[in-house]
């Protein structure tokens, strides 16, 4: 499904919004040819709750640094919150995001420019607790330019890959899910992106996405099969994904996800988004990447892993987001034969 998406965040005083409404952007940033650093950042507004919150995550070879912040939406100017500010330069094409001084030592002034068209879809799911999730979203591949500073060491960024996700609506994805995948494999002339959710009974709950070409073509994904290898801590290590498109093209992509980090609990994904924390709340922590932190130990198993991909002899990189339920009734089952 592709359609026009209103790319700007809604005005804080937009009337008639449901209580659990959110409007969010999330970006990631990584070199096209290296395994670190991996940077994830995002921000969400919750107008009915008068809340805006955000996060930034830096993953190096040895640790993951996490920043989380929150304030009252009515106390902001609608273009900044905490240490982050943003400017939509051109809808669906160009964003500028700045992260100022904060306790993690990560700062940046980045411009993201689209390199592919966006895939835009809508998620409608009824959860086990009777609540419903209904939100529109998009994902799109781009490249960054600008500056990046880690612990005062400043470097110029040019051509790094970055995928973004915009979503808006009501989301309470709770209960009943066995496997969640948000897959963004970046290759020199295209991006393979999809969202796949399976139940604990291994039934497909949701699949949507497309192969997004730099030429401007979108080829909708109609089927996905997987054979993934997780360790005892529910952490993805490697695997193969087979993607079939509407045009009949089959992509068999091998994945190396052995690099650690990308644990989205560090960004507040354990149910903390949208909670009122008062004005100017900020917190930070560090996860050592020595095996002591894993999807099993954190309050959310959701992980955005910077992974290496190989398709038809072509190397790529990107974010392989995954989560397995920690329910004892569930065991991962491959679908690729």
pLDDT at 337: 86
- Which of 166, 215, 227, 158 has the alpha carbon at shortest distance from 189? 215
- Summarised one tens digit per residue, pLDDT across range 86-122 is 999 999 999 999 999 999 999 999 999 999 999 998 8
Q: Judge whether residue 129 has pLDDT over 60.
A: no
Tokens standing for residue 35: 């395994």
* Average pLDDT along the chain: 93
CA-based nearest residue to 165, from 228, 218, 209: 209
CA distances from 329 to 100, 134, 177 (A): 45, 27, 12
What Rg value do the Cα atoms of the chain yield, rounded?
19
Question: Which strand (E) or helix (H) includes residue 162?
Answer: strand 153-170
Measured CA distances, 131 to 20, 125, 173, 175 (Å)? 11, 9, 9, 10
Is the pLDDT at 34 greater than 80? The verdict is no
Q: What torsion, rounded to 10 degrees, do the Cα atoms 230, 60, 63, 196 define?
A: -30
Neighbours of 208 (CB within 10 A): 20
Give the span between the Cα atoms of 26 and 119, in whole angstroms. Answer: 15
Backbone angles phi and psi of 232, in degrees to 5: -70, -15
Peptide bond into 293 cis (omega under 30): no
State in Å, rounded, how far the first CA of the chain is from the last one.
28
The per-residue pLDDT for 127 is 46
What's the average model confidence in pLDDT over 240-264? 97
Q: In the structure encoding, which two tokens stand for residue 70, read together?
A: 């929150």
Say how far apart CA 89 and CA 85 lie, in whole Å.
13
DSSP 73: G
* pLDDT tops 80 at residue 3: no
pTM of the model: 0.94
Mean pLDDT of 139-159: 97
User: Looking at 13-22, 113-122, 127-136, 317-326, which range is the least confident one?
Assistant: 127-136
Task: Give the number of residues written for the chain.
Answer: 337
Nearest to 141 by CA among 87, 106, 200, 189: 189
Give the confidence band of 36 by pLDDT, cuts at 50, 70, 90.
confident
- pLDDT band for position 1 (cuts 50, 70, 90): very low
Question: Is the CB of residue 56 less than 8 Å from the CB of residue 46?
Answer: no
**pLDDT tens digits along 4-29:** 789 999 999 899 999 899 999 999 99
Q: pLDDT at position 176, please?
A: 73
Instruction: Tokens for 159, please give them.
Output: 């051509």
DSSP letters, 277-322, are --TTEEEEEEEESSSSS-TTTSS---EEEEEEEEETTEEEEEEEEE
| β-strand pairing of 153-170 with 303-311 | unpaired
pLDDT at 82 over 90: yes
Mean pLDDT on 181-210: 96
For the chain, percent of residues with pLDDT exceeding 70: 95
Q: State what percent of residues in the chain have pLDDT above 90.
A: 88
């Amino acid at each position: 499904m592709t359609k026009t998406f209103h790319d700007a965040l809604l005005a804080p005083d937009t009337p008639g919004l449901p209580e659990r409404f959110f409007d969010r952007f999330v970006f990631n940033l990584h070199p096209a040819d290296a395994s670190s650093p991996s940077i994830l950042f995002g921000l969400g507004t919750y107008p009915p709750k008068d809340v805006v919150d955000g996060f930034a995550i830096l993953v190096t070879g040895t640790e993951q640094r996490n920043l989380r912040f929150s304030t009252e939406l009515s106390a902001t100017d609608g273009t900044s919150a905490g240490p982050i500010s943003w400017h939509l330069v051109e809808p669906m094409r160009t964003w500028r995001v700045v992260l100022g001084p904060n306790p993690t030592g990560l700062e940046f002034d980045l411009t993201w420019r689209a390199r592919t068209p966006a895939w835009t879809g809508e998620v409608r799911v009824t959860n086990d607790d009777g609540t419903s999730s209904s939100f529109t979203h998009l994902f799109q591949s781009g490249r960054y330019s600008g500056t990046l500073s880690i612990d005062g060491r400043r470097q110029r960024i040019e051509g790094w890959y970055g995928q973004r996700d915009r979503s808006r609506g009501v989301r309470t994805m709770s209960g009943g899910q066995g496997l969640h995948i948000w897959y963004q494999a970046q290759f020199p002339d295209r991006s393979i992106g999809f969202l796949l959710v399976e139940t604990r009974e291994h039934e497909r709950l949701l699949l949507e996405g497309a192969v997004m070409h730099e030429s401007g073509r979108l080829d909708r994904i109609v089927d996905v099969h997987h054979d993934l290898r997780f360790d005892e801590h529910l952490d993805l290590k490697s695997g193969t994904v087979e993607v079939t498109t509407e045009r009949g093209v089959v992509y068999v992509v091998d994945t190396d996800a052995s690099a650690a980090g990308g644990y989205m609990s560090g960004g507040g994904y354990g149910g903390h988004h949208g909670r009122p924390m008062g004005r100017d709340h900020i917190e930070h922590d560090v996860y050592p990447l020595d095996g002591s932190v894993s999807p099993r130990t954190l309050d959310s198993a959701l992980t955005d892993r910077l992974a290496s991909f190989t398709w038809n002899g072509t190397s790529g990189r990107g974010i392989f987001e995954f989560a397995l339920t920690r329910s004892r009734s569930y065991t991962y089952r491959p679908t690729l034969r």
